[in-house]
Amino acid sequence: MSQATLGIRAISGHAGSVPGAGVERGLEVCKLIDTTTCIGCKACEVACLEWNGLTFSETTFDNSYQTMPETSWNYWNLIKFNEHEREDGSMALLMRKDQCMHCEEPGCLAACPADGAIVQYVNGIVDFQQDHCIGCGYCITGCPFNIPKFSPTARKVFKCTLCNDRVTQGLEPACIKSCPTGCLHFGSKTDMKDLADKRAAQLREHSGFANAGVYDPPGVGGTHVIYVLHDSTNPEAYGGLPKNPTIPLTVQLWKTPLKWLGNLAIIGGLIGVFAHYLRFGPKIVEEDENGKQGARQ
Amino acid sequence: MATSRRDFLKVAAIGGGAATVLGFDLAPAYAQLRELKIARATETRSTCPYCSVSCGVIIYTLGDKAKNVTPQVIHVEGDPDHPINRGTLCPKGASLEQDILNPRRLLKPQVRRPGGTDWEDIPWDTALTEIAQRVKKSRDETFVEKDAMGRTVNRCEGIAFTGGCTDTNEFNFLVVKAMRSLGVCYLENQARV
């Protein structure tokens, strides 16, 4: 495998400095998903499978057009079909492309204890490095979007890579390229934000969606996959998109105060042992009954 | 208390060991990116065979056309320069690679006999002979020389022919010649290329 050509902004479970963090100028990339023009054709699902060479997986029929209940370790991109009853009693079929959101402050990376198993590149892509992954599954706990999935075969965790192999070479992700209705867009975060805001304003002013808006949740520092929703006040209707996603409290506690308390306890213990050694010297074992002197420890 | 050289070394070794265990790894951290799998592949423009929209596709083939290489398709995706689809594809078109790389692809003629439940493999010769026999039989049975008003029509109403999207002009020319000579009227294809 090749060495990274992308600067790294954050590394999971890493004690030292991070090469690339704050020293490299980089374009932040972003996917824009306009749920209002998605027709649920699943071209993005297939393009993802083809590009990433993912293995065959059984689909589930559950009285819905949805391929399977949720993304899987070898199915990173899933259109979620949701029947939604509007206030006036009419029905709407809401379709949302579900995949890794590539959070600015990734919960998976915060939770991961393995050095270098999860990295965040300067361009915002959060990537799993399976050769450093220890398969503990803590990232699954840390993710507010239920994205990382454990592979029982590889005993590692897998998820969408935002096609970083394509993006580093100046190509768009496979899903974006395939989309026939043009509901998927790819570009810089700034451009995508602008495009999304314009589209949301258009929906509010001309299409009668008074609550149309952009989903770029601040609870995880914003995401590198953003949505335009018909009703941004109710993202849960789009197959469980959390209203205000945050890194779970347990992970936050454990990775910040508890971690440093633990480190203090370890280092304090070591200092204590060393101070004891300096103050009282090595332990001398007293003579036993046979009159032999114990070995110096 | 005097610390001997030996003690100092011991403490230094333990401290160093502890630092390593606790994660003060000085090795530089590199992330491994997968290489672009189509970086040096041969690109071939083609047309999606599925429907009459006829989207442009690029077929990526392993190898650089050197003499000793057997090319193999490794990826197919939309052609951004094609005016119809501009790089996009539908789910069926996006799976085009499996038109070639799929263990379930049919490679020989199969037949399911009347009343049979399974498909059986038959050789090409048998298949062609049987088709010819059936065409002859159907044509003999359903050929209409004159219609109800006595006008000569010379048509064969028992056979229809459908062609695909990727059929070329030359192929369609031959189809029309062959089918019209049999008197087939129900002649259709979805080629828009």
Does any domain span residue B168? yes
Claim to verify: residue B120 and residue B175 sit in the same structural domain: yes
Same domain, B124 and B71: no
Give a yes or no: residue B30 inside a domain.
no
Q: Are residues B121 and B91 in the same domain?
A: no
Contact A125, A106 (CB under 8 A): no
Assess if residue B181 is contained within a domain.
yes
pLDDT at B27: 47
Q: In this structure, are residues B53 and B85 in contact, taking their beta carbons and an 8 Å threshold?
A: yes
Least confident of A81-90, A108-117, A252-261, B24-33: B24-33
Residue B70 shares a structural domain with residue B140: no
Q: Return the higher-pLDDT residue of A72 and A256.
A: A72
DSSP assignments along A259-274, one per residue:
HHHHHHHHHHHHHHHH
Q: How far apart are the first and last CA of chain A?
A: 49
Asked if A129 and B31 come within 8 Å (Cβ–Cβ), the reply is: yes
Structural domain harbouring B181: 110-189
B175-190 mean pLDDT: 91
- Beta strand A184-188 with A29-34 is antiparallel
Q: Which amino acid is at B19?
A: A
Total number of domains in chain B: 2
**Residue A48 touches partner B, C-beta closer than 8 Å:** no
B159: in domain: yes
pLDDT at residue A3 is higher than 60: no
Cα-flanking dihedrals φ and ψ of residue A67, to 5°? -65, -45
Choosing from B70, B99, B128, the residue where a domain stops is B99
The stretch A92-109 carries a mean pLDDT of: 95
Which chain B residue has its CA at the smallest distance from A11's CA?
B29
B13 contacts on A by Cβ (under 8 Å):
none
Q: Hey, how many other C-beta atoms are within 10 angstroms of the C-beta on B38?
A: 20
pLDDT band at B1 (very low <50, low <70, confident <90, very high): low
Report pLDDT digits (tens) over B24-41: 554 445 566 788 899 889
Q: How far apart are CA B54 and CA B51, in angstroms?
A: 6
Cβ <8 Å between B97 and A50: yes
Is the predicted pLDDT of residue B125 greater than 70, yes or no?
yes
Higher-scoring residue by pLDDT: B54, B26: B54
Residue B7: predicted pLDDT = 74
* Angstrom distance (rounded) from CA B64 to CA B72: 11
Tokens of residue B161, six digits: 């022919």
Answer positive or negative: Cα dihedral of B161, B165, B167, B172.
positive
Chain A residues near residue B93 by CB distance under 8 angstroms: 43
Same domain? For B185 and B128 the reply is yes
Q: Give CA–CA dist A31/A184, Å, rounded.
A: 7
Whether A178 and chain B come into contact, CB under 8 Å, resolves to: yes
The whole-number pLDDT of residue A188 equals 95
pTM confidence score: 0.79
Tell me the domains of chain A and their CATH numbers. Answer: 8-188+217-227 (3.30.70.20), 256-297 (no CATH)
Q: With respect to residue B7, please indicate whether it lies within any of the assigned structural domains.
A: no
A53: amino acid identity, one letter = G
For residue B4 the two structure tokens come to 């001997």
Condensed to tens digits (0 to 9), the pLDDT of residues B58-109 reads: 999 998 888 998 999 999 999 999 999 999 999 999 999 998 888 888 889 9
Angle (deg, nearest 10), helices B5-21 and A257-280? 170
Q: Predicted ipTM?
A: 0.81
